[in-house]
Amino acid sequence: MSTSAYLVCPPLQLMIGLGKPLRAPDGTISSFDQGLVQGTERAQIDRALWKFLAQTAGENLVVVFSGDDDFETIAGYRQIGGWTEDGNIPFAAYLSEPPTTPAALGGTDGPANVVYYGSLGAGRTRANPSGLFRRSVVDGYAVDEMFTRRLQWEPTTYLREYEFGHNDVDHVEITPAEAHAFVERLTAKGRS
């Protein structure tokens, strides 16, 4: 039986698979086979990993192997990229939702504090923004995402760059309903 590795956040009882460890000639682990996946699946894994790192910022993270003595306990944690039938979170579902503040950390297992922004590119207004961003605050950490042309939420540095004066395009806070309408318009265009 081959060994798989997982990046685990014990306080949140959450983990994400890294794949099988690949070793250098001297026996040290040089990478994991998840890194060999290509194309759309690769991008999805990368985005999920970055979101996981942002969501668990400030928490204790450990790499655990399926052959470890304590793996039985960890195997009961929710896995990002796992099957919903097992209580896990598929990549697509994990990436489509804003981060949450888990009940284990005093949250409600519901959406974190989320603020939406519409970008006001040339000639655009609040009612017709040129882009959509959201900032989710989980346990004091901001996670910024933008709704992309691929019709999905992806990490972005736009809001941070704007705060530091590196972006010239202004933005305005919008309501969740306005953000939802923007997503619906783009999704409808994408389907036609």
Tell me, yes or no, whether 21 lies in a domain.
Answer: yes
Q: Are residues 130 and 156 in the same domain?
A: yes
**Nearest of 78, 108, 85, 65 to residue 11 by alpha carbon:** 78
Query: pLDDT tier at 55 (50, 70, 90 boundaries)?
Result: confident
- pLDDT of 133 strictly over 60: yes
Write down the pLDDT at residue 112. Answer: 55
Domain of 140, in residue numbers: 113-191
Average pLDDT (35-59) is: 73
- pLDDT of 41 strictly over 80: no
Write down the pLDDT at residue 103. Answer: 42
Tell me, yes or no, whether 103 lies in a domain.
Answer: no
Query: What type of residue is 100?
Result: T
Q: What percent of the chain has pLDDT over 90?
A: 6
